[in-house]
A and B are shown apart, each in its own frame.
Chain A
């Protein structure tokens, strides 16, 4: 059952126009979301992680353009070829998306219950009574008081509660793929822990395929079965979370982990990552994109983009790490 991935992204390229001509925000990304698993996508701002996630809905914001690649979701096919009406049905019913800062994306003028009904109507749900009933069950699952939540306006809910309502809205149409973009950013530690616990629970109970996007290695390291690390529009490393964290291959993953202040271990061993986070214009046009910040860079790194090395269950794109593995 876990043999075919639920979502298959292949050679995806998304370009944005810039003063220097069109430049890729996502540059040839391939990624599988294993069925029934939680995949974590880690990257810094501008790494292209949100753009990548939005292509799963075929919703890349203007003026961005998908120039090549495919996004195959099972029971749906390639979402990049869908026409508007089919796309409308797919979003919500197949893929639930919890947007970044979704705690601020509720309509401030309508109570949550009315917004739920709007969602049901716009997706052609006939049995609205049954729809509300399943929403109530879902809200209960989140550990909230359904009656109170449905009657509340967004300002009457706390940040953690709004985030949970975002998850309810994403799942109430029975989506089987759940995408969460920075679900805990701007929440404090205790609220973050409870939201992560709820994601874990809902994921298991509903047999979802989940993608969680975060700049925080901790969130992904705690929650995800597999993790992918994104840098400058590329996935530079991907594999089972435990293995990637215990023995990172790519120098960027290694650098990120050493640059993290942690609660365990020797605090004096933490080291900052040198250099600056590239934006579209400052990404190197030739060779490995991480080269300017890489402590291991050699001459070959400037010549071409490193190919993906597959090692058992793991993949990484680095000349030096490939040499170490060989």
Chain B
């Protein structure tokens, strides 16, 4: 299990002589990734979801709070000592075209980390080859076909599967998939999403899925927890399907309202929520961070920032003083319509 406790991260911004105020990418985020669990982070670009993923993988440091990996507090360890813990968390990059060395065959790409692994376990070359074939089997690739080939000879979908197989060579606890299908052809996306779903059972790994696309989060995160992140804070959290079907926070509602409606098979939700303006990252409202864009903001929203779950509820927690149920999600049109 991996746990984040009030994680904060501020990026220094040079702003001339007067302000040296940084950009607060994360303002105290709590989350839990259970063993074999599925967790999704959704939000707009710049909301901090990618920073959170990078912190988990050890590619980025955090300023405050703590990250607990395998029972150890990362805040209490020196950066050099954290490496073996972060190795349990592997990142699946967005771009499978630049994630693989173009001068190495797939066989070589997978053999390098497996050789280290074999050394640690005192195994021989036979183990390596067997494990390599096994991993390729997990990700749905034919070893005889892909092992002798170079990355450019494979499709985007196959390359992403190789990237996933490579991440699995170190027997990770968690795979962090950050927009992992956005560069894959649409007809092949679902195959990768299905793989991420199935790996939880097949190899016992948890999946953290980071995306702005709610529909893919619904697919991969089915049965898991969904975190809606806005400007570095969690504004709503709960069971994935519950949050998508019954969003309580106006920001979640506006994200769901923004999903294109397939005419002929879906009808738009009758109470679409549209933010009153674009995101202004320079503004620092004293109360709720979403208040300046919220169509339902009231006077008390400007006084103090609401806390997640302060209004009770365990299945689904939100940070809104005036939550209301609104039908924003598209509904299936009657069958045979058209």
Interfacial residues, chain A to chain B (CB-CB below 8 A): 44-45, 158-160, 188-194, 196, 215-219, 221-223, 241-247, 255-256, 259-265, 267, 270-273, 276-277
Known: A216-B186, A277-B188. A222 touches B218 (CB 8 A): no
Kindly provide the distance from the CB of A152 to the nearest chain B CB, expressed in whole angstroms.
14
B residues in contact with A190, CB < 8 Å: 44, 254-255, 258, 275
User: Which residue of chain B is the closest to A184 with respect to CB atoms?
Assistant: B260
B263 with A241: CB separation less than 8 A: yes
A residues in contact with B331, CB < 8 Å: 264
B185 with A192: CB separation less than 8 A: no
A272 to B190, CA, bound (A): 5
A residues in contact with B22, CB < 8 Å: none
A residues in contact with B255, CB < 8 Å: 189-190
A260 to B266, CA, bound (A): 14
A189 with B212: CB separation less than 8 A: yes
A265 to B330, CA, bound (A): 10
B330 with A263: CB separation less than 8 A: yes
B residues in contact with A265, CB < 8 Å: 332
Q: Max chain A CB contacts within 10 Å: which of B187, B274, B330, B333?
A: B187
Task: Give which listed residue, B194, B259, B337, contacts A272 with CB less than 8 A.
Answer: B194
B264 with A45: CB separation less than 8 A: no
A261 with B219: CB separation less than 8 A: yes
Interface size on B, residues (CB 8 A): 47
A residues in contact with B218, CB < 8 Å: 261, 263, 267
B residues in contact with A193, CB < 8 Å: 257-258, 260, 274
Answer yes or no: B265 CB below 8 A from chain A CBs.
Answer: yes
Which residues from 258 to 309 on chain B have a C-beta closer than 8 Å to any C-beta of chain A?
Answer: 258-266, 274-275, 278
B residues in contact with A272, CB < 8 Å: 187-191, 194
B residues in contact with A216, CB < 8 Å: 186, 260
A residues in contact with B190, CB < 8 Å: 259-261, 270-273
User: Which residue of chain B is the closest to A273 with respect to CB atoms?
Assistant: B187
User: Which residue of chain B is the closest to A242 with respect to CB atoms?
Assistant: B264
Answer yes or no: B242 CB below 8 A from chain A CBs.
Answer: no
Interface of A is mostly: helix
B188 with A218: CB separation less than 8 A: no
Kindly provide the distance from the CB of B292 to the nearest chain A CB, expressed in whole angstroms.
14
A117 to B321, CA, bound (A): 49
Kindly provide the distance from the CB of B153 to the nearest chain A CB, expressed in whole angstroms.
12
Kindly provide the distance from the CB of B297 to the nearest chain A CB, expressed in whole angstroms.
17
Kindly provide the distance from the CB of A114 to the nearest chain B CB, expressed in whole angstroms.
24
A217 with B338: CB separation less than 8 A: no
A194 to B293, CA, bound (A): 14
Kindly provide the distance from the CB of A275 to the nearest chain B CB, expressed in whole angstroms.
8
Q: Max chain B CB contacts within 10 Å: which of A243, A263, A265?
A: A263
Using A159-B45, A277-B185 as known contacts, list a sample of 15 further A-B pairs with CB atoms less than 8 Å apart, ordered by residue number in A.
A189-B213, A189-B258, A192-B260, A216-B186, A217-B186, A242-B337, A245-B265, A256-B187, A259-B186, A260-B190, A261-B216, A261-B218, A271-B190, A276-B155, A276-B188
B residues in contact with A241, CB < 8 Å: 263-264
A11 to B288, CA, bound (A): 58
A218 to B263, CA, bound (A): 9
Answer yes or no: B329 CB below 8 A from chain A CBs.
Answer: yes
User: Which residue of chain A is the closest to B195 with respect to CB atoms?
Assistant: A272
Task: Give which listed residue, B155, B193, B263, B275, contacts A261 with CB less than 8 A.
Answer: B193
Answer yes or no: B157 CB below 8 A from chain A CBs.
Answer: yes
B185 with A215: CB separation less than 8 A: yes
A259 to B262, CA, bound (A): 14
B214 with A263: CB separation less than 8 A: yes
User: Which residue of chain A is the closest to B47 with respect to CB atoms?
Assistant: A188
B278 with A160: CB separation less than 8 A: yes
A264 with B330: CB separation less than 8 A: yes
A residues in contact with B186, CB < 8 Å: 44, 215-217, 256, 259-260
B216 with A44: CB separation less than 8 A: no
Answer yes or no: B149 CB below 8 A from chain A CBs.
Answer: no
A193 to B213, CA, bound (A): 12
Give me 16 A-to-B residue pairs in the complex whose CB atoms sit less than 8 angstroms apart, sorted by A's number.
Answer: A189-B212, A190-B258, A218-B262, A221-B261, A221-B262, A222-B261, A241-B263, A241-B264, A242-B264, A244-B264, A246-B337, A260-B215, A261-B216, A270-B219, A272-B188, A273-B191
Answer yes or no: B222 CB below 8 A from chain A CBs.
Answer: yes
Kindly provide the distance from the CB of B287 to the nearest chain A CB, expressed in whole angstroms.
21
User: Which residue of chain A is the closest to B266 with respect to CB atoms?
Assistant: A264
B residues in contact with A215, CB < 8 Å: 185-186
A246 with B265: CB separation less than 8 A: yes
B residues in contact with A277, CB < 8 Å: 155, 185, 187-188
Which 9 residue pairs across A and B have the least CB separation, nearest first? Answer: A242-B264, A246-B338, A222-B260, A193-B258, A218-B260, A272-B191, A261-B219, A246-B264, A221-B262
A267 with B222: CB separation less than 8 A: yes
Known: A217-B186, A242-B338, A272-B191. A189 touches B219 (CB 8 A): no
Q: Max chain A CB contacts within 10 Å: which of B191, B215, B332?
A: B215
Answer yes or no: B256 CB below 8 A from chain A CBs.
Answer: yes
Q: Max chain A CB contacts within 10 Å: which of B244, B261, B262, B332?
A: B262
Kindly provide the distance from the CB of B210 to the nearest chain A CB, expressed in whole angstroms.
12
A residues in contact with B266, CB < 8 Å: 262, 264
A192 with B262: CB separation less than 8 A: no
B residues in contact with A262, CB < 8 Å: 215, 262, 266
Kindly provide the distance from the CB of A272 to the nearest chain B CB, expressed in whole angstroms.
4
A residues in contact with B337, CB < 8 Å: 242, 246
Contact with A along B71-98 (1 / 0, CB 8 A): 0000000000000000000000000000
Kindly provide the distance from the CB of B200 to the nearest chain A CB, expressed in whole angstroms.
15
Q: Max chain A CB contacts within 10 Å: which of B255, B258, B331?
A: B258
A residues in contact with B185, CB < 8 Å: 44-45, 215, 277
A188 with B260: CB separation less than 8 A: no
User: Which residue of chain A is the closest to B181 with respect to CB atoms?
Assistant: A261
Which residues from 208 to 259 on chain B have a C-beta closer than 8 Å to any C-beta of chain A?
Answer: 212-216, 218-219, 222, 244, 254-259
B residues in contact with A222, CB < 8 Å: 260-263
